[in-house]
Each structure stands twice: as C-alpha cells, then as structure tokens.
Structure 1
Amino acid sequence: METTSRLEAQGTVGDPLAPLAAAPAGMGAQRAVDDYRRASFPWYGLDEAFSGPRWLMQVGAAADGTVQHGALGHGDEPSIRPEAAGAEKERFAAVITVAASPVRRSGDGTGVLDATTVSSAAWLAGSGLLAYTWPAQLDHTLRDDWLDQQTETAFELADDLAGPAWSMLSLPVDGVPTTFHYRESEFGWVLAASTRAGVHIGAYGRGMSAYGLGFSAVQDIGAYV
C-alpha cells in the first residue's frame, strides 16, 4: 500500500504514531504551532458547526524536516482506556491531514518515498484510534503485542478501501459534499477521503457521531492552542 506512515517509519519525527499524541502546554505548545506552520499544505479540522474545545496534536515529518502529515483534536482529550465501555464518556474526533505527494526521492537522497493516497490517511486514522484503547483482559506488558497485531490489521483494512469493512458516507469538506470511506469498530469510527485541496483527510473518534461532521480548512492554527 502506498501509505505515508509506513514510509515515514524511516524518517518521522519521533514515533510513526507521533501525530496521535496531544501537544505539550506552555512553550511546547508554541513550538507545536510553529511545526504546523511549516507545512506547505492546508490543515483541516471540524468546521464552525463544532463549538467544543480544539487542541493541537503533533505533526509527522520526513528526514529532511518537511512536514507531511499531522492531526488536530476536537472535544475531550482522549485517555488510554483498557476497554471500549470505559471510554464511552469521552467525546472526541481527531482530524488528520496528509499532504498528497507522488513517488519521490527521500530528503537525504538515500531512497524513494512512496506516494501518499487516501489509504495513507485511513491507516493513520485507524492506528490512531487503536492507540487509546486495548482489551480489558490484557495487562500493560501484553498491550504492545496487541497493538502491533491490531495496527497490522488496520494497515490491511486501509489497503482494501473497496472491501466489505468499509461503507461510503458523504460529508461536507469546505462546504462541498465529499465521499468518505467509513468503518466502525468496538473502539470507535474511522473516516478517510481525498479533497479538492490536494490533501487527504483521515479522522477517528468515539462518543461523537461521524454522521453529523463537517470539515474545513483551518484559517488560524493558533485557535487550537
């Protein structure tokens, strides 16, 4: 699959799941804002119909520092829960923006980076949702193994957007009806679509219905601090 996340395991700032974590407060938050502002593409979040809290997560970058994707949070900042039921009180949605890129040379000239597609956004969203939940019967020592297995499953699902795990859902992006790939799991929901703005959007959440969401380009990233 042509997914930005797998290729960025070689050159992402921090962990390949880095865009899933919330940004730090204080001076760290200002540095996070600066990271977002280095992007050459527009960031997307929930549109103005959403009136709840907004917060920065993190960006993912190539080895040369070029920002390639990142996420913005909306609602309650999620905590890691050992069961889906324990997370029902949380209401949040994370919106991931992935720059649309063709196959290209890596920043350090040592290899080739795959193209990014809507599957890239779907995988980032699917793995993001998993990062906050694990089955109650597992202890912390087994969670890493479970997360590795489930992340591989999320990768395979993202590679088969035409498969039975996905349905289609029309949601507005900048006011234009856009077809999203949509799936639900016991942990929440995942969305992914390509936009006319030249980026791919992924989203995941729980406690907040995906059916009533709308997305728009972020005019002021500072509003998320």
Structure 2
Amino acid sequence: METTSSSRVGTQPAETATAPAQPAPQEHPRLSQEAAAAPVPAARRTAEGYLRADFPWYGLDGAFTGPRWLMQVGIGADGSVEHGSTGHGDEPSARGEIATGEKERFAVVVTVASNPLRRSSDGTGVLEATSVSSAAWLAGSGLLAYSWPVQMDHTLRDDWLDQQTEAAWELADALDGEEWSTLSLPVDGEPTPFHYRESEFGWVLAGSTGSGVHLGAYGRGMSAYGIGFSAIGDFGAYE
C-alpha cells in the first residue's frame, strides 16, 4: 500500500539541530548494543558521542515543535560510532503506555551508518553490511524496550523481551513481507519511501537516505503519517 503523507503540521523551516534494546543473543549482522544499555536520564546526556560519528545524524524536521532529547550511541568493535537515536515528544519510561496506561506521545529516530564491512567483536572476522533491515531491527527492538504488557510479572519480562526482540529481527529481515506497507515521507525535503508497520506497541518504519545513512523510527501516540526528517546541524535543541 503506497501512502504519501500530506497532513504535516506547520511550515516553519527545519531547526538547525537535528533504543534501548535487549542485547541480541548472537552478533550476526546485528549492531553493537552500546545504545541498548539502561536508559540514561536526559539531564545527564551530552552530544559528545554523537559528535564522534563520521556520518550525519537525523531527527524530526522543523515541523515538529515539541521537546527533543538525546538517547545513546552504539559503538562498534573498532571503537567507531555505528548508530544512535534521538528522541522527540514525551520521554518514555521503561514501563510505557502498554503497562501503565499513561498516554506517552513520542517518536524516536534511529540513524545507522552505511557500513559495507564491519569487524566482529573478537577481531577474527567480519559481519554483514548494515542495511535498511539493520535500521528496522533497531527501531523495532527499541520500541519493545519501552513496552511491557501490564499482566506480565517483572521476572518474566527478560524472557518476553528476548522472544519479542528475536521476532523483531525476523520481521526486519523480511521487509517485503505482508507485515509491512510502504509510506512516503520527506527526508531533507525529498519524498523518500519507507517500510512501515504497526503493532499493539506502536509503529516502526525504516528506509535509506541520499546522504549515505539508513533511518529507522518508532513511536507511540504520534502519527507516523505526519512526520518528516532532516539532518541535525546543531545538537543544542537536544541537550
């Protein structure tokens, strides 16, 4: 289903500023999970890790006028920054709307460096190149980290999250499957196709930009149909 967004709010210029996920059981093409550590309070986050990257970061464009906040970056085996996320709207808690009934409204943008070759953590081999599937998995597993079925006992959450994260990878590896539709959204002002799906936990989308990075996004309480993305020029709006 091809859908083109035409209901974006506001026309002001983009601001010059442009998850946690459970660690995967195997390295495969999945990315380093430095960004999957326990969430750091927004007040203590800085742009230092982001500024070490050699690729552009993305966030929601200037049509979004709400709060912006930093998350964390993922570091590869060679010490380079591989990916990271920026948040928009209400900063979600570890037990989000699914568990508490609170109406959090947020969208997280995941930027993934386009790397044709990555070293394994033990330095003895290489991993598959990053792809749109990499962005889709990070977005899907990031959304899960902020979801917790209310009827679930705390001690069962890790098992549930492991199972759901594995399912998120399988979905991300089959972007042409029936679980995904196609959504066109602006990236730096240019219409760009994204893979899109919804679930009881929220929505997830993934695509690639003309600037050499893959983009993922996830959210809840905010419509994916009305958002757009732009490169971050200054992290001041996020700190």
Structure with more contact order per residue of length (Cα contacts < 8 Å, sep ≥ 6): 2
Q: Please state whether the residue corresponding to 1:171 is helix, strand or coil.
A: strand
Task: State which of 50, 62, 74 in structure 2 corresponds to 1:48.
Answer: 62
Report the Cα distance in structure 1 between the residues aligned to 2:124 and 2:31, rounded to whole angstroms.
11
Per-residue deviation, 1:64: 2.1
Does the C-alpha gap of structure 1 residues 202 and 87 become closer, same or farther in structure 2, counting only changes over 3 Å?
Answer: farther
Structure 1 residue aligned with 2:178? 164
Contact 2:85 2:108 survives alignment (8 Å): yes
1:29 aligns with 2:45: yes
Please list, as runs of the form range in 1=range in 2, the aligned pairs for 1:18-167 lying within 5 A after superposition.
18=37, 21-22=39-40, 24-25=42-43, 28-30=44-46, 33-81=47-95, 84=98, 86-87=100-101, 89-106=103-120, 109-167=123-181
Report the Cα distance in structure 2 between the residues aligned to 1:171 and 1:96, rounded to whole angstroms.
15
Deviates more, 1:68-77 or 1:85-94: 85-94
Instruction: Give 5+ residue unaligned stretches, structure 2.
Output: 1-23
1:174 aligns with 2:188: yes
Q: Give the superposed CA RMSD.
A: 2.3
Does the C-alpha gap of structure 1 residues 117 and 13 become closer, same or farther in structure 2, counting only changes over 3 Å?
Answer: closer
User: What's the CA shift string for 1:177-223, capped at 9, x where partnerless?
Assistant: 00000000001000100110100000000000000000000010232
Contact 1:54 1:224 survives alignment (8 Å): yes
Instruction: Give 5+ residue unaligned stretches, structure 1.
Output: none
Does the C-alpha gap of structure 1 residues 10 and 47 become closer, same or farther in structure 2, counting only changes over 3 Å?
Answer: closer
Contact 2:29 2:134 survives alignment (8 Å): no
Report the Cα distance in structure 1 between the residues aligned to 2:200 and 2:33, rounded to whole angstroms.
30
Q: Give the structure-2-normalised TM-score.
A: 0.83
Q: Please state whether the residue corresponding to 1:74 is helix, strand or coil.
A: strand
* Percent of pairs with identical residues: 69
Does the C-alpha gap of structure 1 residues 63 and 210 become closer, same or farther in structure 2, counting only changes over 3 Å?
Answer: same
Contact 1:23 1:56 survives alignment (8 Å): no
* Total equivalences in the alignment: 215
Report the Cα distance in structure 2 between the residues aligned to 1:147 and 1:8, rounded to whole angstroms.
19
- Matched to 2:36, the amino acid is L
Contact 1:92 1:206 survives alignment (8 Å): yes
Q: Please state whether the residue corresponding to 1:59 is helix, strand or coil.
A: strand
Task: State which of 204, 214, 219 in structure 1 corresponds to 2:233.
Answer: 219
Higher share in helix: 1
Q: Please state whether the residue corresponding to 2:163 is helix, strand or coil.
A: helix
Report the Cα distance in structure 2 between the residues aligned to 1:132 and 1:207, rounded to whole angstroms.
13
Structure 1 residue aligned with 2:32? 12
Contact 1:189 1:210 survives alignment (8 Å): yes
Q: Please state whether the residue corresponding to 1:161 is helix, strand or coil.
A: coil
Contact 2:205 2:216 survives alignment (8 Å): yes
Q: Please state whether the residue corresponding to 1:84 is helix, strand or coil.
A: helix
Q: Please state whether the residue corresponding to 2:207 is helix, strand or coil.
A: strand
Report the Cα distance in structure 2 between the residues aligned to 1:82 and 1:224, rounded to whole angstroms.
21
- Matched to 1:38, the amino acid is R
Per-residue deviation, 1:17: 2.2
Structure 2 residue aligned with 1:187? 201
